[in-house]
């Protein structure tokens, strides 16, 4: 029997040269793509119910589109549109990488953010941009090259996967600094941009396209939100370091805590970091937990963090689980990257005894009788297996004071899991805009000819109450977003609303609630102040982390 040791495998996107594909190679890759999804995708029943998705029908329409495909880019677009049909933000791809390393990405010297009414606003200007004396933060982007932002969004929605409108709009706004790869090369060296300034006047400007290719060192500008009412800059730095990018502050005038967590990406255990943070927060009268833009990471850290906000007499918080589909696609990814050849894989699943040994080496506690049921006509077939995601509880007593969570469409994956678990227990007041609502766990599948990497949701996360997270965003209790003036002034209106909501919760009988928090002591921060980046697009956290953890499984 083949022995192997490497079970936790990093996700690496390889750099390779782009070449022209033949029609036969495209056909082979298309069939491989749809077959992989059919074997491995975890949400077909849900997406059929929610979105009317018929995967066989999508395949037929894609084959018809392929007849008209002339370039590799045409082919990537066909695959992207098939992924988007599922309405799953974890079904991502590396098409932008393939273009980035070949012909390059076209970009503007501006960055954008989503504001009130799902409008797009300027929130950063590249230092050497030709727009520095023409455009200001807070300007609303109305159109590009004569096309309205609404029209551009509608077109991009066919190409960019998302689990919810909130996730799509959040990602759409931030990605508008780049020309979409499927829009092709610009017809002109300059883009015509139409804005509305803070006085409501239309401003039209032209700006040169920038080209990023290969691995340039991106320049950046610092984007920091300063609040007139909630001053968060005058602070003393303490020492509560740990695995995750976490920032902790105390508004000492009101005895309110503020904790910002921007990612769950690190595989290093964050429990000691959470314990230290809760010790420092234990005497506060309330807490603001800022999760805006947290795209997720390691799923079990979301369940672990939830322990710290649910009463210790409620152990069910750990009963969330991941239902994984185990197929040949899954094992190819997890085993072949561990130096398995295809022959090794075939040997590992050649018969019931070999497959049982392989599955148990992977941490699945299964018997030969259970595995035998997964063989049809002598061949191994896919099966589902649930896994408890977190078997540990907090050592420090749970934080039971009022909790306000700041959220937006950038909250996704592990962050969605955490917020849904908290919402199950009605433990927090949510302030901001709806979250991304994604609960799949992605696995990358590389097509043989094009090297197009398709990410496939191979597992479904559930909370202990069996709430389906995928495609079902949490509606905030207090809906609030930034205005153009807020963005221009650097005012964090969402934080301000969260602060006021928390104060009213702590002291509901007070007819006047001050939003002047006074100075905040910065207890600790491991968040790097990198500012707004200009350069190549980067993969979001929920894609960069495709983690499989050893645990106890039972075949369903």
Residue 16 has pLDDT above 50, yes or no: no
Answer with the residue of higher pLDDT: 329 or 351.
351
Q: Give pTM, 2 decimals.
A: 0.81
- β 256-261/286-290 pair status: parallel
Q: Of 263, 288, 273, 212, nearest to 530 (Cα)?
A: 263
Q: Of 288, 223, 211, 285, nearest to 249 (Cα)?
A: 288
Q: Give CA–CA dist 87/51, Å, rounded.
A: 8
DSSP 253-304: TTTEEEEEE--B---S--HHHHHHHHHHHTT-SEEEEE-TT---B-HHHHHH
Which of 144-153, 234-243, 389-398 is least confident?
A: 234-243
DSSP 83-113: HHTT--TT--B-HHHHHHTTT-EEE-SEEEE
**Can you tell me whether residue 482 is helix, strand or coil?**
coil
Beta bridge partners of 324: 385, 459
- Helix (H) or strand (E) segment spanning residue 323: strand 321-326
For the chain, the maximum distance between any two Cα atoms, rounded to a whole number of angstroms, is 74
- Helix (H) or strand (E) segment spanning residue 543: helix 541-544
Percent over 70 (pLDDT), the chain: 79
Centroid of chain to Cα 471 = 13
Answer with the residue of higher pLDDT: 462 or 308.
308
What is the reported pLDDT for 183?
92
Residue 17 has pLDDT above 60, yes or no: no
Cα-based torsion angle of the residue sequence 121, 157, 79, 104 in order, rounded to the nearest 10 degrees: -20
Residue 155 has pLDDT above 60, yes or no: yes
Residue 113 has pLDDT above 90, yes or no: yes
Residue 382 near residue 329, CB atoms below 8 Å: no
**Third-level CATH fold of 108-158+185-220:** Pdz3 Domain (2.30.42)
Q: Give CA–CA dist 19/168, Å, rounded.
A: 31
448: which DSSP letter?
T
Judged on CB neighbours under 10 Å (0-12, 13-18, 19+), 347 is middle
Average pLDDT over the chain, rounded to an integer = 81
The domains of the chain are located at 108-158+185-220, 328-381
Scanning 396-450, the segments in alpha helix (DSSP H) are 414-424
Which of 335-339, 455-459, 542-546 is least confident?
A: 542-546
């Amino acid at each position: 029997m083949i022995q192997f040791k490497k079970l936790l495998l990093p996700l690496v996107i390889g750099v390779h040269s782009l070449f022209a594909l033949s029609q036969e190679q495209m056909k082979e890759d298309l069939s491989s793509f749809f077959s992989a999804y059919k074997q491995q995708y975890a949400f077909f029943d849900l997406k059929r119910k929610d979105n009317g998705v018929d995967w066989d029908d999508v395949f037929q329409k894609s084959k018809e589109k392929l007849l008209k495909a002339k370039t590799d880019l045409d082919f990537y677009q066909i695959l992207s549109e098939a992924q988007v049909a599922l309405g799953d933000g974890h079904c991502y791809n590396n098409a932008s990488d393939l273009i980035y390393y070949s012909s390059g990405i076209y970009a503007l010297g501006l960055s954008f953010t989503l504001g009130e009414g799902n409008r797009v606003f300027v929130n950063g200007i590249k230092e050497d941009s030709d727009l520095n004396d023409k455009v200001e933060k807070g300007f609303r982007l109305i159109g590009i090259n004569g096309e309205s932002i609404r029209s551009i969004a509608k077109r991009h929605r066919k190409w960019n996967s998302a689990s919810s409108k909130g996730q799509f709009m959040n990602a759409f706004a931030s990605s508008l600094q780049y020309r979409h790869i499927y829009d092709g090369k610009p017809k002109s060296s300059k883009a015509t941009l139409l804005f509305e300034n803070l006085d409501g006047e239309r401003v039209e400007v032209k700006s040169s396209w920038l080209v990023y290719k290969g691995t340039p060192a991106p320049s950046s500008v610092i984007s920091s939100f300063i609040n007139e009412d909630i001053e968060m800059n005058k602070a003393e730095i303490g020492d509560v370091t740990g695995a995750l990018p976490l920032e902790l502050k105390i508004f000492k005038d009101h005895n309110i805590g503020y904790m910002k967590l921007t990612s769950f990406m690190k595989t290093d255990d964050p429990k000691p970091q959470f314990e230290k943070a809760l010790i420092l927060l234990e005497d506060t009268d309330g807490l603001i937990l800022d999760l805006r833009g947290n795209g997720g990471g390691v799923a079990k850290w979301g369940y672990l963090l939830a322990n710290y906000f649910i009463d210790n007499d409620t152990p069910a918080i750990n009963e969330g689980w991941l239902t994984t589909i185990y197929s040949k696609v899954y094992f190819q990814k997890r085993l072949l990257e561990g130096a398995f050849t295809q022959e090794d894989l075939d040997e590992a699943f050649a018969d019931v005894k070999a497959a049982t040994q392989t599955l148990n080496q992977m941490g699945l506690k299964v018997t030969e009788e259970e595995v035998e049921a997964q063989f049809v006509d002598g061949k191994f077939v896919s099966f589902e297996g649930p896994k408890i995601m977190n078997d540990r509880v907090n050592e420090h007593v749970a934080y039971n004071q009022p909790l306000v969570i700041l959220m937006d469409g950038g909250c996704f994956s592990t962050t969605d899991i955490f917020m849904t678990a908290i919402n199950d227990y009605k433990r927090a007041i949510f302030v901001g805009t709806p979250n991304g609502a994604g609960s799949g766990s992605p696995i990358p599948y590389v097509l043989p000819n094009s090297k197009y990497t398709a990410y496939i949701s191979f597992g479904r996360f559930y909370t202990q109450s069996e709430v389906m997270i995928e495609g079902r965003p949490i509606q905030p209790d207090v809906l609030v977003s930034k205005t153009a003036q807020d963005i221009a002034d650097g005012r964090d209106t969402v934080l301000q609303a969260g602060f006021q909501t928390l104060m009213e919760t702590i002291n509901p009988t007070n007819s006047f609630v001050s939003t002047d928090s006074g100075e905040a002591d910065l207890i600790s921060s491991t968040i790097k102040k990198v500012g707004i980046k200009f350069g190549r697009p980067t993969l979001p956290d929920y894609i960069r982390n495709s983690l499989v953890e050893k645990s106890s499984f039972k075949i369903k």
